[in-house]
Structure 1
Amino acid sequence: MRIVDKLKQAEESGTPYFSFEYFPPKTEQGLVNLYDRIERMGRTGPAFVAVTWGAGGATAQRTLELSDSCQGIFGLDALMHITCTNMDREKVDKALAGARSAGVRNILALRGDAPRGDEFWSACSGGFTHAVDLVRYVRETHGDYFCIGVAGYPEGHSECTNLDTDLEYLAEKVRAGADFVVSQLVYDADVFIEWLRKCRAIGIDCPVIPGVLPVQSYQSFRRLIHLTKVLVPEPLRQALEDVRANDQAVKDLGVEHAVATIRKLQAAGVRGVHITTLNLENTVMRVLSALGLGSESRPPRSVTEPSGVPSAWDDFPNGRWGDARSPAFGNLGSYVSTYGTAMQKFGSGASVWGEPTEISDITEIFVNYVEGSLASLPWSDEPLLAETQKIKEELVRVNQLGFWTLASQPALDGAASDDVTYGWGPRGGYIYQKAFVECFVHQSLFPGFLSRLQNASPRITYYASNGAGDFISNAVGAQGDAATALTWGVFPGRAVVQPTLIDKMNFLAWRTEAFHSWAEWADMFPRGSPQERFLREMAEKCWLVNVVDNEYRNPDTIWNMFQ
C-alpha cells in the first residue's frame, strides 16, 4: 500500500500512528536475528517500516532483501531508502527495478552525505546533485507507481545557513512529487512544532513525520550528536552526563525523554512519529508501552532472544566489537548517512587528511590522530576515547613504527562500573578488559610481525587478513572458531555479561568494511592521480591484524609484538 494513503487516513481520523526504521546487519546471523525482532515488533502495528541504504548502494542487495521480507513475510509496508551519493542513473534504475519486482512501492529519496573525508558533497558522473533531482527522476520514469518520501531538517541542513532557504528547498521537493516528509531527529519538541508551522505557512501540506531516536546508550548517543550536530536540550545533555556510567539509568532517561517528547508533539496535533530503532527492541517497546501505542506495546517478557542469545544485545548495545550475531552489530553509519552529517572540516582541498603519496604520509596521519592534532580518520569519525590515554604513549610508538592502529583498548582488572572513563552497566559492579590492538600492517612489515605472533605465548591470539581474502589466525582450529571476550562485567544479581567479543565472523565483517574505506579514500582523488593510485596500492599491500592479550592482569606482552 502507498504509505501516504495510510498517513492521510490517520491524520483525517485523528489516530496516532508510528513507524520503525532498521538498517541491514553486517552478518548473515545478524540478519536472521533481526527478522525475529521485526516479526515481534511488527505485531504492534506500525504504519510502515523503513530500511536504510548504504552510500553508493553498498547495502543494496541486503536493503532490497530486507524490504522484500518486511512486505512478503511480515505483511508490513516497507519504505526503502535510496541516496544520491555515488549513485549514477544506472544504479538508481537497478534499485528501482528491484523494488518494483519485490512489490515495494514506497521510496525515501535522499541526497545522502558527502563520501567520508570529502570536504564538500558533489554528484558522481551521471548522477544526481540534489534529492529533488532524484524525486523528479523517479516521477518521470515510474509515474505514480512509487510513493515518495523525502527528508526535512527542523534545524536546517548542515550545508544551508538560512532556514528560510532550507524550507524552500523542502517545498521544491514536495512540488517535484514528494508525498510525505520524515524529519531529522527531534530531541526538542518545540523546535519541530515551530518548524512544522513554517512548513504549513509556505504551502507544504503533505504529512510531515518527526524522527525520534530514544537514547540507547551514552556512547552511541554521543557519537550520533557529534556526527549530526542535532540540537540537544541542555537538561537532557546534563542529565545524561550525570548518569553516563550507568547504562540502565541512561536507557531509563532515554525512554522518559522520548515519551515526553512524543506526548508534547501529540498535544500540538502531531499524529505520527518515526522511530529509529538502531535494530534494538526493548527500549522502543518500552516507549510504545508508556504511550499506549500498538496492539502489543509491551516489553518482551523473555530475557533471551528466540535463538538463545542473551538480552545483553539490548542491555549493552554493541559497537563494532560486539556480538556478530546481534541484529545491531555494526555502527551508526547506516543511520547517519541517511539524513546527513556535518563532519568537522580540517585543512583544505579534497580531503581532510591531505594528499598522501608515500607510506610516510600515512604514518604521519595516524600519528597525528593518536596525538590528537587530527580529529578523524577514514576509518573513524571521532577523536579517540578518553580510555585510550592510558595507552597513548605505546600507540604513538606503534604508529611511528608503521603499524597503523584502527582500534585498541587498555587492559582493566576490576574497574568500578561507575567509573566515568571505563565504567558501564549497573552500579556496584566491576569491569574487566583484555588489551587489544587492531592495525593495518604493510606487506613489508607483515612477515616479521606474523613470525612474532606465531612464536608468542599462547596468551596472544590474533586474526589477520588481506584485501584478497587470505586469512591467518591461531584462534580458529579443529574445534571451529573460538569467540574471545574482550570486555566483561560482573554485577550484583546477574550472570557475567560479555558485551564485546571478537571471533572470525565479526572480524571478517569488519575486514570488508576496513578495506573498502581505502577505496573510498582513493575515490576522492581524480582517476589515475598519484594519490588515487597510491591509496589503491595500499589496499592491496596491507594486512588487517587484530591482536588480543588474554592476560588482562599483566598486559605488557602485547606491546612486545610491535617492533
Structure 2
Amino acid sequence: MKVTQHIENANGNPLFSFEILPPLKGQNIQSIFDSIDPLMEFNPPFIDVTYHREEYEFKELPSGLLEKKIVKKRPGTVGICAAIQNKYEVDAIPHILCGGFTKEDTENFLIDIDFLGIQNVVALRGDAIKSEIYFRPEKEGHHYATELVSQISNLNKGIYLDEDLQNSSKTDFCIGIAGYPEKHMEAPSMDSDIHFLKQKIKNGADYIITQMFFDNQKYFDFVAKCRKEGITVPIIPGLKPIATKKQLNLVPHRFKVDLPDDLIMEVVKAKDNDAVKEIGIEWCINQSKELVKSRIPVLHYYSMGKAENIKAIAQAIF
C-alpha cells in the first residue's frame, strides 16, 4: 500500500514509522530483524531502508601510483526490503539516490523493486562521498533530486529511457522526498530551498519526510512556509533522540541542524551516556506529544539500527 493511502486510512490518527540502515558488509540480516522485532508491537505501516552509495579508497601500487577502488560498505537495500515485506508483511520503502547511479541504473533498480511489489520509494540526491567536497553526479546520472523524481514519475506513466519499447507497463510508485526545516546545507536560503521542494512536488512527488530537528517550532514554521507556497502533500516529521555526548558536536556538524540550548545544557551536565540516553528519550517524547497535538500524519524515527530508545519513546506515545 502507498504511504499516502496509509495516511488516508488512519483518519487523522498519527502513524508510527522508522528508518533503518543496511548492515555493514559481512554481517547477516539477523541484525536487521533484531532492530525491527522490538518495534513491531507499535504496528508500523511502513519501514524505510536507506541506501548507501559506494565510496572510494586508494591503494598504493608497487609502482608508487595510487589505484582507486570502489567500495560499497552497506549493500543490500533491495534484498532487505524484500525480506521485510516477506517476514513482517509491512511496506518497505527503499531510498534511491542520484549519486552512484546512471539513469539506466536507476531504471533497472526501479524495475527490480516494482517486480517485488514495492510501491513506495524515497528519492534523494545523496551526499558527496568522503573523498569529495561537493556532490558529483555520475556521468550519465542525475544532478538533482528534481530530475530523479521526474524519471520515477515517467515510469509511472510508462515512459522508459528506451523510447522504442512497445506496450510498456506503467509502474505505480508513491514518491517520497526530503524536506529540511532548517534548509538544506547547500541551499543559499530557505526560500530557494522551498522553491526546489515545490518543483519536486510538481514533478510527481507525493509526500515529504523531514530531516531531523530538535525544536518543533522549526518544523511548524517549515510547514507553514510550504503551505503558503501551495505545497499540500503530507509533511512527515523526522525525529532522532540524542544518545551520547559526542552527538552534541557530531549531529550539528553532519546534519547541519541546531540543538536547543536547554537540550545542550542537560546533556553537558549528564554524568554519563546512560544519563544522556534518558535525556534524549524524554526530549523526543515531549517533541512527539506536541507534534501529535498538531495532528501530524506520521511520527517517523531515525533509529540508526538502535531499537531500545525508539521503543521507549513509542511506548509513551502509542
Query: What TM-score do the two structures reach when normalised by structure 1?
Result: 0.49
Q: Deviation at 1:61?
A: 5.0
What is the CA–CA distance in structure 2 between the aligned matches of 1:30 and 1:223, rounded to whole Å?
28
Question: In structure 2, what residue type is equivalent to 1:2?
Answer: K
Alignment of 1:302-451 (within 5 A): none
Tell me whether 1:23 sits opposite 2:49 in the alignment: no
What is the aligned partner in structure 1 of residue 52 from structure 2? Answer: 54
Alignment of 1:14-413 (within 5 A): 14-29=12-27, 31-56=29-54, 58=72, 62-143=76-157, 145-220=172-247, 222-243=249-270, 245-291=271-317, 293=318
C-alpha contact (below 8 Å) 1:186/1:192 kept by paired residues: yes
Question: In structure 2, what residue type is equivalent to 1:163?
Answer: M
- For the residue of structure 1 that corresponds to 2:82, the secondary structure is helix
C-alpha contact (below 8 Å) 2:22/2:74 kept by paired residues: no
In the TM superposition, structure 1's runs of 4+ consecutive aligned residues that sit over 6 Å from their partners are: none
Question: In structure 2, what residue type is equivalent to 1:99?
Answer: I
Question: In structure 2, what residue type is equivalent to 1:263?
Answer: K
Question: In structure 2, what residue type is equivalent to 1:282?
Answer: E
C-alpha contact (below 8 Å) 1:149/1:181 kept by paired residues: yes
C-alpha contact (below 8 Å) 1:56/1:83 kept by paired residues: no
C-alpha contact (below 8 Å) 1:67/1:78 kept by paired residues: yes
C-alpha contact (below 8 Å) 1:53/1:59 kept by paired residues: no
What is the CA–CA distance in structure 1 between the aligned matches of 2:266 and 2:296, rounded to whole Å?
26
What is the CA–CA distance in structure 1 between the aligned matches of 2:189 and 2:90, rounded to whole Å?
38
Q: 1:218 to 1:5 in 2, by over 3 A?
A: same
Q: 1:142 to 1:56 in 2, by over 3 A?
A: farther
Alpha-carbon deviations, 1:213-240, whole Å to 9, x = none? 1112222453232211211111111111
What is the CA–CA distance in structure 2 between the aligned matches of 1:60 and 1:33, rounded to whole Å?
13
Question: In structure 1, what residue type is equivalent to 2:48?
Answer: A
Q: Deviation at 1:59?
A: 6.4
What is the CA–CA distance in structure 2 between the aligned matches of 1:75 and 1:127, rounded to whole Å?
33
Q: Deviation at 1:117?
A: 3.3
What is the CA–CA distance in structure 1 between the aligned matches of 2:277 and 2:112, rounded to whole Å?
38
What is the CA–CA distance in structure 2 between the aligned matches of 1:113 and 1:215, rounded to whole Å?
22
What is the CA–CA distance in structure 1 between the aligned matches of 2:249 and 2:101, rounded to whole Å?
30
What is the CA–CA distance in structure 1 between the aligned matches of 2:75 and 2:258, rounded to whole Å?
34
Question: In structure 2, what residue type is equivalent to 1:44?
Answer: F
What is the CA–CA distance in structure 1 between the aligned matches of 2:188 and 2:265, rounded to whole Å?
27
140-149 or 130-139, which deviates more? 140-149
What is the CA–CA distance in structure 1 between the aligned matches of 2:76 and 2:309, rounded to whole Å?
25
What is the CA–CA distance in structure 2 between the aligned matches of 1:221 and 1:50, rounded to whole Å?
25
C-alpha contact (below 8 Å) 1:193/1:265 kept by paired residues: no
- For the residue of structure 2 that corresponds to 1:218, the secondary structure is coil
- For the residue of structure 2 that corresponds to 1:50, the secondary structure is strand
- For the residue of structure 2 that corresponds to 1:127, the secondary structure is coil
Q: Deviation at 1:44?
A: 1.6
C-alpha contact (below 8 Å) 2:207/2:233 kept by paired residues: yes
C-alpha contact (below 8 Å) 1:56/1:84 kept by paired residues: no
Question: In structure 2, what residue type is equivalent to 1:259?
Answer: I
May I ask how many residue pairs the two structures share in their alignment? 289
- For the residue of structure 2 that corresponds to 1:43, the secondary structure is helix
Query: What TM-score do the two structures reach when normalised by structure 2?
Result: 0.86
Q: Deviation at 1:27?
A: 4.6
C-alpha contact (below 8 Å) 1:108/1:150 kept by paired residues: yes
Q: Deviation at 1:8?
A: 2.6
Higher relative contact order (CA closer than 8 Å, sequence separation 6+): 2
Q: 1:195 to 1:247 in 2, by over 3 A?
A: same
Q: 1:26 to 1:221 in 2, by over 3 A?
A: farther
Q: Deviation at 1:258?
A: 0.2
Question: In structure 1, what residue type is equivalent to 2:188?
Answer: T
Question: In structure 2, what residue type is equivalent to 1:31?
Answer: I
C-alpha contact (below 8 Å) 1:60/1:95 kept by paired residues: no
- For the residue of structure 2 that corresponds to 1:37, the secondary structure is helix
| Greater C-alpha radius of gyration | 1
Question: In structure 2, what residue type is equivalent to 1:155?
Answer: E
Structure 2, unmatched stretches of 5+, are 56-71, 158-170
Q: Deviation at 1:248?
A: 1.4
Alpha-carbon deviations, 1:33-91, whole Å to 9, x = none? 32133233223201210000012594685111111111111111111001111211122
Alpha-carbon deviations, 1:185-223, whole Å to 9, x = none? 011001100110111111111110010011122224532
42-51 or 129-138, which deviates more? 42-51
Question: In structure 2, what residue type is equivalent to 1:233?
Answer: P
Alignment of 1:499-510 (within 5 A): none
- For the residue of structure 2 that corresponds to 1:73, the secondary structure is helix
Alpha-carbon deviations, 1:149-206, whole Å to 9, x = none? 0000111111112111111111110111001000000110011001101111111111
- For the residue of structure 1 that corresponds to 2:42, the secondary structure is coil
Identity %: 28
What is the CA–CA distance in structure 2 between the aligned matches of 1:179 and 1:279, rounded to whole Å?
26
Q: 1:59 to 1:176 in 2, by over 3 A?
A: farther
What is the CA–CA distance in structure 2 between the aligned matches of 1:171 and 1:56, rounded to whole Å?
29
Q: Deviation at 1:16?
A: 1.3
C-alpha contact (below 8 Å) 1:152/1:184 kept by paired residues: yes
- For the residue of structure 1 that corresponds to 2:88, the secondary structure is coil
Question: In structure 2, what residue type is equivalent to 1:166?
Answer: D
What is the CA–CA distance in structure 1 between the aligned matches of 2:25 and 2:265, rounded to whole Å?
36
What is the CA–CA distance in structure 1 between the aligned matches of 2:245 and 2:105, rounded to whole Å?
37
Question: In structure 2, what residue type is equivalent to 1:205?
Answer: T
Alpha-carbon deviations, 1:524-562, whole Å to 9, x = none? xxxxxxxxxxxxxxxxxxxxxxxxxxxxxxxxxxxxxxx
Q: Deviation at 1:15?
A: 0.5
C-alpha contact (below 8 Å) 1:56/1:87 kept by paired residues: no
Q: 1:104 to 1:60 in 2, by over 3 A?
A: farther
Q: Deviation at 1:30?
A: 5.1
What is the CA–CA distance in structure 2 between the aligned matches of 1:30 and 1:276, rounded to whole Å?
21
Q: Deviation at 1:137?
A: 0.4
